[in-house]
Amino acid sequence: MYEAARIDGAGAWQQLIRITLPLVRPVLVVAVLFRLLDALRMFDLPFVLVGPHKQSVETLSMLAFDEAANTRYGPGAAYAVILFLYVAVVAFVFVRLLGADLLSTDRSGGKVPSRRATTAEGAMA
């Protein structure tokens, strides 16, 4: 593809934008999504480095832990559910906006068979 782009007169910037980024987009979406979700669920770094009960660095998971540690299980569970919903909504919006193809479906809506399934079917015939 890069050779064809060079023959057509595409520069390095156009090759990056039109060839490289679309090819690595699914991998980038998954990597950035995992990093984002890790940042949302962060507990250990602020808790260990700054300590508990510091309002300037208190995260939602730290609030849930603090409530559960003080035997207030209802508010602790509520904080944990809110954190789960927050992470789920952010992941859903992120995947929808960037259009990651997580199910490997074709444009008609049907599932695309894996390469292993097609070769196994060919061997059986």
Q: Identify which of 28-37, 45-54, 81-90 has the greatest average pLDDT.
A: 81-90
Please give the pLDDT value at position 106.
55
Please give the pLDDT value at position 78.
95
Residue 112 has pLDDT above 60, yes or no: no
Query: What is the distance in angstroms between the CA of the first residue and the CA of the last residue of the chain?
Result: 34
Q: How confident is the model at residue 67 (pLDDT cuts 50, 70, 90)?
A: very high
What is the C-alpha separation between 82 and 79, in angstroms, rounded?
Answer: 5
Mean pLDDT of 39-68: 84
Please give the pLDDT value at position 113.
53
Mean pLDDT, the chain, as a whole number? 78
Which is more confidently placed, 73 or 23?
73
Q: CB–CB of 18/5 below 8 Å?
A: yes
Strand, helix or coil for residue 105:
strand
